[in-house]
Amino acid sequence: MRRTALKDQRINIRLTTADLQSLQAKAIEEGLPYQSLISSILHKYVTGKLIERKTHSRERRRQ
């Protein structure tokens, strides 16, 4: 039984070099290909399952 949906569409996006490098580094940490990580992030976003993690710097800006 397949646990993931069939991916039958291809897209092209433009990212900043810094964003792409950050995604690639996160993917290495997670042990995933970076394109799979991007796909997972997009899927979580459109299904409402992407949870924003608060950081200390954000908390300081709000105060």
Pair 35, 28: CB distance under 8 Å: no
**pLDDT tens-digit series, residues 2-17:** 677 788 999 999 999 9
What token pair was written down for 29?
């940490």
Dihedral angle of Cα 21, 27, 30, 35, to the nearest 10 degrees: 170
What pLDDT is attached to residue 6?
Answer: 87
Q: How many CB atoms lie within 10 A of CB 38?
A: 19
What token pair was written down for 60?
């300081």
What pLDDT is attached to residue 32?
Answer: 96
The model's pTM: 0.74
Q: How many CB atoms lie within 10 A of CB 2?
A: 5
Domain boundaries, the chain: 17-51
**pLDDT tens-digit series, residues 22-63:** 999 999 999 999 999 999 999 999 999 999 888 765 555 555
